Structure 1
């Protein structure tokens, strides 16, 4: 028995999506899931299977991207003995393997036109023909497909069959990117933290969670999962900002150590006073970015009195270094 799939979300759009989907799952309707890479299309397909009456039977999945056309045809529909040189035995395709269950085809937008024709035949008649065969094979399969791009645009450009598109588009589901459901980030972080921590999750510093909340997540949930995995691997109990990948860090944090400034001093590109000025500027930029521009909090963060911080800030700005721009001095 597979572990039950749980969709973790408090986002209203996701919750409405699931409520509507629960009405469609008991039917045999083909479902098209669209969304950016990493938004959880495969997880949703697994949820559809596990909550349907097909759950006791196979859930078979295949990514259609970057697979040679002849190999893809054999993988999906099987082949007869002698269909080609290396076909020494008969082989069942994934449609037959998934009989009575669910077949999930990811990256349907990458499927060649010749395979699209075969998929259309299955959707219209419920049968398929093996490579090298002549007799139709009847299969009982619930088809769920996913696309990372707008299929209608592919239809308009002639790269996707319009008749197949309308067969697949009976019930489309659009998964939003993680940046549009930020309220789910703490829930997902906690889930992955417990998953990778084997029941002993690490403590996440509040500033770490703030950084995770502020990130745009171009890789969506998959990227978040990998970042949390990294944090768990690198820490025994508690995390801090330095444990995050560099592109998550507040501006200037990764170079606050002053390694570049030291290089400037050793290489005699700058005087000692200039290097100190540059390093102070980096520390001040970091503190201001971390506190959202609040000077009192930034002073506290650096362990300075408010008056001392103001003086240093004025000197840095008089020196021509904006606290809101990157450091070009080192």
Structure 2
């Protein structure tokens, strides 16, 4: 498929690897329920915050269905401009509008006999909701500018980051469309509600991003990550680990993590936290010293507004030694 929109992704699932990492009981229950309905053609609605992994579950549903050999198409409805959305979903004929110099298949046609995943269904305009309802009821689409219906056979999977019932009550979302897509709903819990998944997910991402480095997570780093709220969910965790893997050399310690995840606001708190981890988690000497040194150097630099000479003097280090520390901890 040719598209100028990067948020439209089309691929054959057999050519892609798919891994769902979890040891959480609720997540396992969701997977077990999905396994029971995956072989059907029922519409599925995935509900959950941004970044919880709804797209992975949509792919999993397709992979385990009888349509797995066919095409899987996904589209973020929030990313698509409204004036182009109808054409992207249903296609258009030549001359349908000014820039329609050629006919074009829509995503529903491309996904015929396969599955289509529409993310952010809560953002779809009412005008498009009406057309989606027609597709579900009549199993056919009509290209923009055409009068000839085209039969389709597609399994629809949708996702929402909010409760659609609330949108229905506010007349923002059509109730008849809601009932059509809500045949089998699944609510994916946020990462903060399944903290037992944080370590296995982090270790999985480490192996993915730095397989050659043989990195590991210290107990103190794991504790910091478990205590963090993860507003961006699994996507945020993935991005953090990707960034950490760029700089870490052996064992990932709290000093390697972003300050909001370390959760320490000043040097006094850092010292208290290191003492606590040393006693409770068996934090080794090198970890404690690296944690203290990193934060001492960083705080000195922050207080000196980036002036290296002033920062070095404030903690009684030579400028050359201070700069060596900055390089060591990738602060410059």
1:144 to 123, 147, 157: 157
Matched, 1:97 2:136: no
Q: CA deviation at 1:292?
A: 4.8
Q: CA deviation at 1:290?
A: 4.2
Matched, 1:128 2:112: no
Q: Mark the runs of 5 or more structure 2 residues left unpaired by the alignment.
A: 1-13, 290-332
Matched, 1:244 2:262: no
Q: TM-score, normalised by structure 1?
A: 0.78
Query: Is the radius of gyration larger for structure 1 or structure 2?
Result: 1
The answer on whether the counterparts of 1:288 and 1:294 sit within 8 Å (CA) in structure 2 is: no
2:235 to 213, 217, 222: 222
Give the whole-Å Cα distance in 2 for the aligned partners of 1:302 and 1:121: 63
Deviations 1:112-170 (A, max 9, x none): 00000010001101101111111111111111000000100000001000000011111
1:54 to 64, 67, 79: 67
Q: 1:201 to 1:42 in 2, by over 3 A?
A: farther
Matched, 1:232 2:216: no
The answer on whether the counterparts of 1:32 and 1:145 sit within 8 Å (CA) in structure 2 is: yes
Matched, 1:154 2:167: yes
Segment of structure 1 superposing worse, 285-294 or 154-163: 285-294
Q: 1:138 to 1:291 in 2, by over 3 A?
A: farther
Give the whole-Å Cα distance in 1 for the aligned partners of 2:274 and 2:62: 45
Larger strand percent: 2
Matched, 1:179 2:192: yes
The answer on whether the counterparts of 2:87 and 2:143 sit within 8 Å (CA) in structure 1 is: yes
Q: CA deviation at 1:21?
A: 1.1
Deviations 1:34-65 (A, max 9, x none): 00000000000010111111111111100000
Give the whole-Å Cα distance in 2 for the aligned partners of 1:111 and 1:246: 37
Q: CA deviation at 1:111?
A: 0.3
Give the whole-Å Cα distance in 1 for the aligned partners of 2:122 and 2:220: 40
Matched, 1:207 2:220: yes
Matched, 1:164 2:173: no
1:287 to 271, 288, 297: 271
Give the whole-Å Cα distance in 2 for the aligned partners of 1:302 and 1:36: 36
Matched, 1:111 2:124: yes
Q: TM-score, normalised by structure 2?
A: 0.78
Q: CA deviation at 1:295?
A: 9.1
Give the whole-Å Cα distance in 1 for the aligned partners of 2:144 and 2:64: 33
The answer on whether the counterparts of 2:88 and 2:106 sit within 8 Å (CA) in structure 1 is: yes
Give the whole-Å Cα distance in 1 for the aligned partners of 2:277 and 2:254: 18
Q: CA deviation at 1:68?
A: 2.0
Q: 1:246 to 1:136 in 2, by over 3 A?
A: same
Q: The residue matched to 1:10 in structure 2 has which SS?
A: coil
Q: The residue matched to 1:6 in structure 2 has which SS?
A: coil
Matched, 1:20 2:4: no
1:85 to 95, 98, 109: 98
Q: 1:237 to 1:88 in 2, by over 3 A?
A: same
The answer on whether the counterparts of 1:250 and 1:290 sit within 8 Å (CA) in structure 2 is: no
The answer on whether the counterparts of 2:203 and 2:216 sit within 8 Å (CA) in structure 1 is: no
Q: 1:158 to 1:194 in 2, by over 3 A?
A: same
2:43 to 30, 34, 41: 30
Aligned-residue CA RMSD in angstroms?
A: 2.2
Deviations 1:198-249 (A, max 9, x none): 3544122221111111111100000000111111111222222221111112
Q: 1:182 to 1:293 in 2, by over 3 A?
A: closer
Q: 1:294 to 1:207 in 2, by over 3 A?
A: closer
Q: 1:295 to 1:22 in 2, by over 3 A?
A: closer
Q: Counterpart in 1 of 2:209?
A: 196
